[in-house]
């Protein structure tokens, strides 16, 4: 779950692999609509004792399949509405969640980190060539017939790997290695092969095929020959989900913009025909309908949960105890993979000094992470220093200790000012007493954006801004904004109209940072949280490559971070891989591509008649079999 969704709650995103598996809106509990029961891309982490949380066991642990009946209306909440239902271009969690209800994906990852085949099952003999076999009962809607390997190969080779990313697909970079497209070839009607250039033993756990959706060739071939990107973006069948057929648990019924999104149970859902899944899958899904209500105000979302008007909602840390004491609400506290960080705009319309490592270090030294974790987050968070949570087996303390900015001796005015002085050497910036002046002799003022849907995220921004002003003598102007608006106007970037760029990595990285800029200028943000991928850390390389598809801030590494990521990804020996990741995370901690702040826990409240969720990290991978115990 990403930050802005966590406190808003209500949306499952157990399978999607698009960019919001990478980016999350807001603080760890701020994301627009996620309820915490999604399948996280990290190690499963169980709580030692869930007696305080009201958490139930997994859906099939204490209840029999016979106790499941199809009944009731499941209602979740989102703090901001979706951007679009065309998943080729959506990067916000809410949009992804809307689509997910009507489309499964290639496969999910269960609590034990095993592949759970949905549409397809992967196999390999050498860890380099992966054969993907589709089920035989997958049917498109709109008259497009059976889902076939030809659909997948056509989509991957002509859209995902299209020349110059003509379609503007957000995650095109996932389908290239060393600048070359990954070979993909059809074997037969239901089978295709992905031939990686190097051995990658964790490929099935990575967000490339895991959670990947598909579109029918019959739709795409209308736009591929002429590279009609606008036509593809505006296609009515895609934007109204007419093609989803039996491929998801629910069917699109209605979308009232800024109000609600309504789906109804799919009577033809393919998983009900699959044998050997267990009785609890026989009649999935178990809700007559699944509705997402858009409720921008945090207090209104919480009142809806208190009053039983919604099934589930995210809970801010300050309200956790209240709901834990409420006998009608089950509260789940779950580890999650999104790191909250202070993002710096290093593109041409951001502050130029953010391109300097000492300056970035100075900003995070100015922030007291321990106080934030203990006071603002009431202990439901801990300081973060690099791109991996402590619960991950890939986290290595050694090497990071000297870069624990924001805690101990590396927090406060002294260490912050020392690094800032080093960062402004050779520039026309200078201190006049306690105040940093720009080359024109005026006090420096920077913007800091927070999510308007999360009070916690706004308070985080205010506290961070106050500490920066106090410790660095820089004035901070706080701006609040809906998460989807921030993504559209501030994180998304492109070159000026008519100007060519040597490369583009999609919506969030339209080209070199001196050319490709966002629609609106900005300096800093805490709106989006970043996925650390504790299961497969190399997946987070997308933030740290100059051409990474999630590198919207325009970061250019000064060390060999991308090369270390690549080497770790192809290393089979786990001990060697851990050593390589230790080097990666040490360099990231030193360079501070963004100012690491906190790793938060998801706190989610659900009506106690909902059976299925748990306090585990991957809770939600099987949300189709949740049900109401009346």
Query: In the chain, helix, strand, coil percent, each to 5?
Result: 30, 20, 50
The C-alpha atoms of residue 614 and residue 59 are separated, in whole angstroms, by: 8
369, two tokens: 């992470």
What confidence tens digit (pLDDT) does each residue in 501-555 have? 999 988 899 999 999 999 999 999 999 889 899 888 998 999 999 999 899 999 9
Average pLDDT for residues 109-120, to the nearest whole number?
A: 92
Confidence of residue 340 (pLDDT cuts 50, 70, 90): very high
What pLDDT score does 47 carry?
A: 23
Reply yes or no on whether the pLDDT at 60 is more than 60: no
Contact 249, 622 (CB under 8 A): no
pLDDT (0 to 100) of residue 438:
97
pLDDT tens readout for residues 141-172: 999 999 999 999 999 999 999 998 999 888 88
DSSP 502-524: S---STT--S-TTT-EESS--SE
pLDDT of residue 64: 56
Give per-residue pLDDT as tens, 369-381: 999 999 999 999 9
Residue with tokens 């501030």: 490
Query: Which residue is it, tokens 């290595």?
Result: 396
What does the pLDDT read at residue 334? 87
pLDDT tens across 469-478, in order?
999 999 999 9
pLDDT band at 174 (very low <50, low <70, confident <90, very high): confident
pLDDT in tens, 424-441: 999 999 999 999 999 999
Q: For residue 55, what pLDDT band results from cuts at 50, 70 and 90?
A: very low
pTM (two decimals): 0.75
Least confident of 131-140, 204-213, 604-613: 204-213
Q: What is the pLDDT of residue 616?
A: 81
Q: Hey, what domains does the chain have and what are their CATH numbers?
A: 21-43+68-332+618-628 (3.40.190.10), 335-602 (3.10.105.10)
Nearest-10 crossing angle of helices 574-591, 561-569: 160
Instruction: Decide: 357 and 592 in contact? Cβ < 8 Å.
Output: yes
Mean pLDDT value across residues 61-76: 77
Percent of the chain with pLDDT over 90: 75
Q: Which of 398, 355, 323, 336 is nearest to 534 (CA)?
A: 336
Query: Residue 65's pLDDT is what?
Result: 52
Average pLDDT over residues 242-254: 98
Looking at residue 436, what is its pLDDT? 98
d(CA 79, CA 453): 5
> pLDDT digit string (tens) for 593-617?
999 999 999 899 999 999 999 888 7
| Averaged pLDDT for residues 80-88 | 91
For residues 472 and 419, give the distance between their C-alpha atoms in angstroms, rounded to a whole number.
10
pLDDT for 342-389, tens place per residue?
Answer: 999 999 999 999 999 999 999 999 999 999 999 999 999 999 999 999
Residue with tokens 């736009």: 223
pLDDT for the residue 545: 95
Structure tokens at 479: 């701006």
pLDDT at 211: 87
Pairing of strands 191-195, 129-134: antiparallel
Average pLDDT over the chain, rounded to whole?
89
pLDDT of residue 26: 41
Q: What angle do CA 111, 116, 117 make, to 5 degrees?
A: 165
Contact residues for 375 (Cβ-Cβ < 8 A; gap 6+): none
């Amino acid at each position: 779950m990403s930050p802005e969704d966590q406190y808003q709650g209500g949306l499952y995103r157990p399978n999607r692999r698009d960019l919001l598996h990478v980016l999350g809106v807001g603080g760890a509990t701020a994301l627009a609509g996620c309820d915490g029961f999604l399948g996280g891309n990290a190690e499963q982490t169980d709580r030692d004792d869930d007696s305080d949380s009201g958490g139930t066991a997994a859906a099939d642990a204490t209840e029999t399949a016979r106790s499941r009946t199809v009944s009731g209306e499941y209602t979740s909440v989102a703090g901001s509405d979706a951007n679009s239902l065309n998943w080729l271009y959506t990067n916000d969690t809410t949009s992804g969640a809307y689509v997910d209800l009507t489309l499964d994906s290639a496969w999910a990852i269960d609590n034990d980190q095993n592949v759970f085949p949905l549409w397809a099952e992967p196999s390999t003999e050498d860890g380099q060539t992966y054969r993907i076999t589709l089920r035989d009962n997958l049917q498109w809607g709109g008259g497009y017939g059976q889902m076939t390997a030809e659909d997948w190969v056509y989509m991957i080779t002509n859209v995902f790997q299209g020349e110059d990313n003509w379609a503007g697909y957000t995650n095109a970079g996932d389908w290239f290695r060393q600048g070359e497209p990954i070979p993909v070839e059809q074997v037969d009607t239901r089978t295709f092969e992905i031939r990686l250039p190097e051995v990658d033993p964790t490929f099935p756990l990575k967000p490339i095929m895991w959670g990947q959706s598909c579109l029918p060739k019959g739709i795409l071939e209308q736009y591929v020959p002429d590279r009609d990107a606008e036509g593809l973006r505006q296609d009515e069948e895609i934007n109204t989900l007419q093609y989803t057929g039996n491929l998801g648990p629910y069917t699109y019924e209605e979308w009232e913009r800024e109000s609600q999104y309504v789906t109804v149970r799919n009577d033809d859902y393919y998983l009900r025909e699959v044998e050997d899944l267990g009785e609890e899958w026989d009649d999935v899904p178990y809700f007559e309908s699944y509705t997402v209500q858009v409720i921008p105000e945090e207090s209104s979302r919480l009142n809806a949960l208190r009053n039983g008007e919604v099934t589930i909602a995210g809970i801010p840390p300050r309200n956790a105890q209240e709901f834990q004491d409420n006998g009608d609400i089950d509260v789940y506290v779950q580890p999650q993979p999104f790191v909250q960080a202070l993002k710096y705009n290093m593109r041409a319309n951001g502050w130029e000094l953010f391109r300097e490592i000492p300056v970035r270090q100075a900003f995070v030294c100015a922030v007291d992470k321990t106080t934030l974790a203990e006071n603002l987050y009431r202990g439901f968070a801990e300081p973060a220093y690099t791109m991996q949570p402590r619960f991950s087996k890939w986290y290595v303390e050694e090497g990071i200790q000297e870069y624990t900015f924001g805690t101990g001796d590396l927090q406060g005015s002294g260490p912050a000012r020392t690094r800032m002085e080093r960062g402004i050497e050779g520039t026309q910036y200078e201190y006049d007493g306690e105040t940093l002046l720009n080359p024109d002799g005026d006090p420096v003022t920077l913007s800091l954006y927070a999510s308007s849907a999360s009070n916690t995220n706004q308070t985080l921004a205010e506290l961070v801004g106050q500490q920066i002003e106090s410790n660095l003598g820089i004035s901070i102007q706080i701006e609040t904004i809906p998460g989807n608006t921030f993504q559209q106007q501030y994180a998304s970037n492109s070159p000026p109209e008519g100007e060519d760029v040597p490369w583009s990595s999609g919506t969030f990285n339209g080209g070199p940072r001196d050319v490709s800029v966002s629609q609106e200028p900005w300096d800093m943000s805490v709106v989006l949280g970043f996925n650390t991928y504790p299961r497969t850390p190399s997946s987070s390389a997308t933030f740290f490559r100059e051409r990474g598809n999630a590198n919207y801030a325009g970061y250019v590494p000064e060390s060999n971070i991308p090369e270390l990521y690549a080497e770790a990804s192809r290393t089979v020996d786990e001990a060697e891989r851990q050593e390589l990741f230790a080097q990666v995370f040490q360099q990231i901690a030193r360079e501070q591509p963004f100012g690491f702040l906190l790793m938060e826990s998801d706190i989610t409240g659900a009506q106690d008649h909902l059976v299925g969720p748990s306090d585990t990290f991957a809770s939600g991978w099987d949300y189709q079999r949740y049900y109401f115990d009346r």
